[in-house]
Amino acid sequence: MFEPVRDSWLNIALIFMAIFISILVLAAIHSSPPQFKRILTVVVVFFAGLYFPVEFYIPRHNFLTPFRDSVSNLVQVLAAFTFGLGVVNLVLIHGRHVLRRTTNLPFSLAFFAGFLLMTVVGFIQRYSPQLWAKKAGSGQVVFWEGMHKLLFEGMLLPLTSTVFSLLAFFIVSAAYRAFRIRTLEAGLLMAAAIIVMLANVPVGTWLTSWLPAEGWLKWLRLENAAIWLTTQINAPTQRAILFGLWVGALGAALRIWLSLERTFAAGGR
Amino acid sequence: MEQIAQWLAKFQSIDRRIIYLCVSIAIALPFIVTIRLPVIPTLPTQKFYEAVEKVPKGKVVLIAADFDTGTEGENGPQVQAVLEHLMRRRIPFVIIGLAIQGPQLVQNYADRLAKKYGYRYGQDYVNLGYITGGQPALERFCRSIWQMIPKDAKGTPLSEIPLMRKVRSANDIGLVAEFTGAGLLGYYIQTFWGQFKVPLAQGCTGIIGPEQFPYLATGQLSGLMVGLKGAAEYEALLNLRREGYRRMMPQSMGHITALLLIFLGNLGMWLTYRRRQIRRL
């Protein structure tokens, strides 16, 4: 809808002007009476929620279609704003720990160190990779690119993988405590769990690999039994749950759109 | 006999630290002792393989890297197996991601494999980076890739990238291969499949696998690779033994340990119950 500005300085000026106007508008809304804020929220939510279904259900290329890209851009900008909110929130929480020197101080310092290091290195690597760095020879990488690789692949990847892999220990511990066969239903669940768990690893397939691959006996092979359980028992159940879930989601969306959801429209009152 | 039963009854309340130790030993063991077991490809993985085989000449494959380092353990080997298959067939591919770290991770794999297959960045594969905005953004991407993402992840304009000259919209994409640990499949079904009829295939983590099977039954998914097992099966179809296969052995031992502990817990519970009944009599 709008042509991008070619002049980079004018572009930067426009960005700052947009940020300044956004802050002014947000400050004005913030200082307005609660009743006005409520009406504004209801009106904005109603029209924003109206756009997509109306544009979609009226046959293609209607009067709303030319605005589709602009609305899509707006959604992207709003999504990008949530990142900013996340950063502000983290900085506020950890900044409080640092200023008050609480027991969480070391963790908050670790957060600031990691956050600043990753941000600075990421920006330099992206926008000015030659900054203060020697020219890389053949088979070498520029300092900032190497640094980014070290932080991303050498630190972030193993750290998050380590945290995620802790789940294995908790799941085994929880399964050991929870899977007690006290009823018939628990017994059936256990039988299905054993088949699926074993079929999901080569040990399971090896255990029943002596059974014929064709004929009715093939269904006794663990991998086939697991597929049968997943596609014939699990899939219809999941489908039923999904139907219920999405009908519920539609109802919830309608309530939000029409501002009938009290926690949302009345600010939790 | 009574003493043995008394000892076995203790298994119903094993200390969690002992459980953690058992799991550690079980997972570490295959790294020390080599164990080789067969991997038999299942139908959902075979369908994924066939979906890649059916990609028409002149079309690209869209790799949707919707995962981050947390689920890299499962999604990583899946993507690597599919990339290897694409490179063997000389199919060009475009990387995007609805998760921030995903496209970078996939590009790292692609860069490593590219040396082996002579793939060149810009000519045979492109990384368009992270896409924010969810379903509306994907819908716009389907209609016009150039308008949605004017530059690749490195900041190069698409007009300067040879591969992107022939990739303008979803009509130029022969298959969308999504790799994820989250429930984002709906976005792709509503856009790529629903509006442009581009075939979809998914590689997902084991934990969300059961939720994806209904889409396979309806034909909205052309193929499904579930968890690390899916990656190992895909490698088997490619006659490879890479990360998927290697990581299967620790997982096998982990599953056996879990089942053994569950059995011991139930045995302990049952023996305690029986002893109580005998005492009452």
Closest residue to B137, CB basis, from A52, A72, A239:
A72
pLDDT (tens digit per residue) in A20-33: 998 899 899 989 99
| Residues of A whose CB is below 8 A from B71 | 164
Segment (H or E) for B60: strand B60-66
For β-strands B223-226 and B200-204, DSSP reports them as: parallel
What value does the mean pLDDT of chain A take? 87
pLDDT (tens digit per residue) in B241-264: 888 998 888 888 999 999 999 999
The nearest CA of chain A is from the CA of B146 a distance in Å of 12
- Residue pointed to by tokens 């692609």: B110
Q: What is the mean pLDDT of residues A66-88?
A: 84
Segment (H or E) for B278: helix B243-280
User: Which of B11, B12, B42, B138 to mutate: most A Cβ within 10 Å?
Assistant: B42
Residue B198 DSSP label: -
pTM score of the predicted model: 0.84
Chain A residues 35-74 with CB within 8 Å of chain B: 52, 68-69, 71-72
Determine contact, residues B205/B181, Cβ cutoff 8 Å.
yes
Cα–Cα distance for residue pair A9/A212, rounded to 1 Å = 73
Instruction: Provide the greatest CA pair distance for chain A.
Output: 76
DSSP string, B209-256: HHHHHHHHHHTS-SEEEEHHHHHHHHHHHTT--SHHHHHHHHHHHHHH
Three-state DSSP state, B126: strand
What value does the mean pLDDT of chain B take? 92
pLDDT (tens digit per residue) in A125-135: 888 878 887 77
Instruction: Please give the C-alpha separations between residue A172 and each of A157, A165, B211, in angstroms, as whole numbers.
Output: 24, 12, 22
Amino acid at A23: I
A136: confidence class by pLDDT, cuts 50, 70, 90:
confident
Q: What per-residue confidence (pLDDT) applies to B197?
A: 94
Spell out the residues 6+ positions from residue A3 whose beta carbon is closer than 8 angstroms to its own: none
A116-125, Cβ contacts within 8 angstroms, sequence gap of 24 or more: A117/A151, A118/A151, A118/A156, A121/A147, A121/A148, A121/A151, A122/A148
Q: Is the pLDDT of residue B280 over 70?
A: yes
Q: What per-residue confidence (pLDDT) applies to B102?
A: 93
Cα–Cα distance for residue pair B56/B167, rounded to 1 Å = 14
ipTM associated with this complex: 0.81
pLDDT (tens digit per residue) in B130-158: 998 888 889 999 999 998 899 999 889 99
Determine contact, residues B201/B180, Cβ cutoff 8 Å.
no
Higher pLDDT, A83 or A28: A28
- Contact A152/B at CB under 8 A: yes
